[in-house]
Amino acid sequence: MATPRVLITPHDFNLSDEILALRAGDKRVGAVCSFVGTVRDRNDGLHVSSMELEHYPGMTEKSIEAMIDAALTRFDIFAARVVHRVGLLSPLDQVVMVAVTSAHRGESFKACEFLMDYLKTQAPFWKKEQTPEGARWVDARVTDDAALGRWGLDAANASL
């Protein structure tokens, strides 16, 4: 059974295992680019003791699948995998992983950056942070017009 392209999970992941599964048996692969995002202990100048990520099951996976389809169309890549955690997370915990395979590094780098920019600006996640001032909801989809602009998208209607 093939590894799914998108996994939303409360459980931690192992980057080495994820990359091995992504490139397994594909002799065309000459490059793998990956990004792992972790929980920071500060945001907007406040100490963050934990954060909780929520999503709408089904909608989130469908959105990320569409983003991967767009990356496969835009870039000369073979495969992509996105793992995003939900639930209660602490500083230093891994939150997200994007991995991309291709024949050459340039396409993998571009596709990985494209996928991360999309995740940060468009993926439907909701984030609540615990700070010394109490709990606060934070827009998990930080609009970064420059990030979207790199790919010919705008925040108002960032269609892929």
Provide the whole-model pTM: 0.87
pLDDT of residue 145: 63
CA 49 to mean position of chain CA atoms: 22
31-83: pLDDT as tens digits: 999 999 999 998 888 899 999 999 999 999 999 999 999 999 999 999 999 99
How many domains does the chain contain in total?
Answer: 1
Return the percentage of the chain with pLDDT > 70, whole number.
88
Q: Who has greater pLDDT, 95 or 155?
A: 95
Q: Any idea what the CATH number is for the domain that residue 145 is in?
A: 3.90.1170.40
Asked if residue 127 belongs to a domain, the reply is: yes
pLDDT of residue 150: 75
- pLDDT (mean) for 134-155: 71
What distance in Å separates the CA atoms of residue 140 and residue 132, rounded to the nearest whole number? Answer: 20
Asked if residue 10 belongs to a domain, the reply is: yes
- Find the domain containing 103 and state its range: 6-151
